[in-house]
Amino acid sequence: MGLGAKLNLVLLFVFALGLALFYFFSEPFLEKAAEEDVLVRARIMMEGAAGIRKYTAEEVAPLLTGQMRKRFYPQTVSAYAATKNFEVLREGFPDYLYREAALNPMNPRSRAVEWEADIINDFRAFPQKRDLVTHRDTAQGRFLHLSRPIRVAERCMVCHDRWQDAPKSLVAAYGKDNGFGWKLNEIVGAQIVSVPMTLPLRGAHETRFFFMKLLVSVFVVLAVALNILLRVVVLNPITRISTIAGEVSMGKMDAPEYHSGGSDEIASLSVSFNRMRRTVEQAMQMLSDTLKR
């Protein structure tokens, strides 16, 4: 096996090993990066929902308090305002979903399903938590959920304490069986931003295969360059020196010397070879002269 073939085998082994390591170790890194990117956007949207809730409670609701005796306005409800605002955001981010779920909501549509109840109960068990990131596998794929607790504030008690004390228009709209009996500072629900991870994970996989293709391209270019360099700088000079050595060994003393420019190892080898050749020629000449006598 030639020197070039041996070099190519070593290069191929090192490259295959590196590509395999990249394939196995890049997946969790890229998936984590995709998840972090999704979480950054989810947190921005969560902050936007929190801002809308605060604005509605502090700026909008007081303006309509007097009119609530005659008619119930859902615009005074923070959850309603946050949900409507998120519907506008979804025009730019259609994959993101927002929901405010509660264990005992006034609106039955906001009642927590099993997995949402698990999140709320986790917040109730650990009230110091500011947010929670969870994953859930569904028939539609894997979902990531960013959740924050909904804690009962003093302004919530106006509607959610006793149904007898709530605005009559509110009781008329939702009835008196749900959404009452809340306690101050109690965690009753959660804001949940949900994102399907199918597209982000697909993007991570596409990124991984893009870099693998890039690595293959770099290896091909590097292998070609190294083979050309090996052929020009090492193999051709060695082949030429070997040919001259063979001719000299067969008695062809008029074979030309080999000269290599530069100061590398091949140049040093050519100088040593030429010196040895001259020594051999001198020895053969001396032997010839001795035999003639």
Structure token digits, residue 106? 């006034």
- Residue 135 three-state SS: strand
Low-confidence ranges of the chain (pLDDT < 70): 251-255, 258-263, 287-289, 291-293
Q: What is the pLDDT of residues 182-195, one digit of tens each?
A: 999 999 999 999 98
Neighbours of 167 (CB within 10 A): 19
Give the DSSP H or E segment for 146. Answer: strand 141-151
Query: Which tokens hold the place of 201?
Result: 């994970």
Domain borders along the chain are 25-196, 206-292
Contact assessment for residue 3 and residue 234, using Cβ atoms and an 8 Å cutoff: yes
What is the predicted pLDDT for the residue at 29? 86
- The SS3 of residue 261 is coil
Terminal CA-to-CA distance of the chain, rounded, Å? Answer: 48
Rounded Cα distance between 134 and 255, Å, is 80
Query: Would you call 69 exposed, middle or buried from its count of C-beta atoms within 10 A (0-12, 13-18, 19+)?
Result: exposed
Residue pair 170/72 in contact by the 8 Å Cβ criterion: yes
What's the angle, vertex CA 8, arms to CA 5 and CA 9, rounded to 5?
Answer: 85
Give the span between the Cα atoms of 110 and 121, in whole angstroms: 16
Beta bridge partners of 144: 135, 195
> Topology of 206-292 in CATH?
Helicase, Ruva Protein; domain 3 (1.10.8)
Bridge partners (DSSP) listed for residue 101: 190
Measured between alpha carbons, how far is 259 from 12 in angstroms, rounded to an integer?
34
- The rounded distance, in Å, linking the Cα atoms of 29 and 31 is 6
Residues in the chain: 293
**Helices 78-89 + 3-55 axis angle, to 10:** 140
pLDDT of residue 103: 93
Which ranges of the chain would DSSP assign to H, the alpha helix?
A: 3-55, 61-64, 78-89, 114-125, 157-160, 168-174, 198-229, 236-249, 265-292
